[in-house]
Amino acid sequence: MRSLRAIEARVVACQRCPQLRAYAARIAFQKKRAHRDCEYWAKPVPAFGDPRAAVMIVGLAPGAHGSNRTGRPFTGDASGAFLYPALYRAGFASQPHALDPSDGLRLRDCLITAALRCAPPQNKPTPAELRNCFPYLLDEFDALPRVRVVIALGAIAFASVLRLLRERQFTIEGGAVSFRHGAEVEARNGARRLWAIASYHPSRQNTNTGKLTAPMFDAIFRRAKELLAAEGGS
C-alpha cells in the first residue's frame, strides 16, 4: 500500500496525458486578468485533507483558474467558495475560506480528491483521460482504510466512485443506482461496509441557477455524519 505522500509525488509528476499538461501550461501563461500577478501551479493537483479521514470527497477536475492556479483542490474559485463553507458548517473544515495553500485551512476526518487531476478544456474530461487518472483514485482509497463514506460531486465523479467500489470487490446492496442528488449506495466487502453519496457538483452553473442550494449541500454532509455516527464514528 502506498502512502498518501508517495501518491502525491506520483500525481504531481504524472505525464500520462500530455495534452492536459500542455493545456495547464497554456492557461498558466495566458492567465486570467484577476490573477495576472499570480504564479500558476499548472501541474496535476494532488488530494488534500486528513490522512486518517473517514470521509472521502471526489470532485470532477481542477478548475483552470482555481486548483490549476493554486495547486489545492477547490481552492481559489467559485466551486470552492461554495464547498468549504459547507464543510466548515459540518465540522469537517477549520475555516470556511480557501484562498491559497498558505491560508491555514485544515480538514478534519475528511479528504478531497478528484476523478481527474489536471484541468481539462471546457471542464470536460475524455474517457481516456479519466482512465489514465483512475489508478490514483484507487491508490488513495487504499491508503485510507478508515473511509466509510465517499461523497461524489457530480455524475462523472459518481461513476468513478462506483467503478472504484467494483474494482475493490465491494458488493453494492440493491444493485445499480443512477446518479441523482442525494442518491445513496451501501456497499460491502467482507466485514467492511461503506456508503457512497451523490451530490450535484458545486459549480457556478449549479449554484447560480439554484440547482444546488446551500441547504441541499448541507444535507449531504449532515447525512455523511449520520452514517459515521451510526457506525460509532465522528
User: Which pLDDT score is estimated for 31?
Assistant: 84
List the 149-153 sheet strands across, edge first.
48-49, 110-114, 55-59, 149-153, 192-199, 184-189, 171-172
Structural contact between residues 11 and 117, judged by C-beta atoms closer than 8 angstroms: yes
User: Which pLDDT score is estimated for 32?
Assistant: 82
pLDDT of 72-97, one tens digit each? Answer: 999 999 999 999 999 999 999 999 99
Confidence of residue 10 (pLDDT cuts 50, 70, 90): very high
Domain containing 169: what range?
A: 4-230
On the question of pLDDT at 219 being above 80, the answer is yes
- DSSP E strands in 80-233: the ranges are 110-114, 149-153, 171-172, 184-189, 192-199
**Can you tell me the mean pLDDT for 106-134?**
98
- The domain total for the chain is 1
Q: Give the whole-angstrom CA distance, residue 132 versus residue 81.
A: 28
Backbone angles phi, psi at 20, to 5 degrees: -75, -35
Confidence of residue 51 (pLDDT cuts 50, 70, 90): very high
Alpha helices in 49-148 (DSSP H): 67-70, 78-90, 127-142
**Can you tell me the mean pLDDT for 43-51?**
98
On the question of pLDDT at 234 being above 80, the answer is no
On the question of pLDDT at 233 being above 70, the answer is no
Q: What CATH number has the domain bearing residue 26?
A: 3.40.470.10
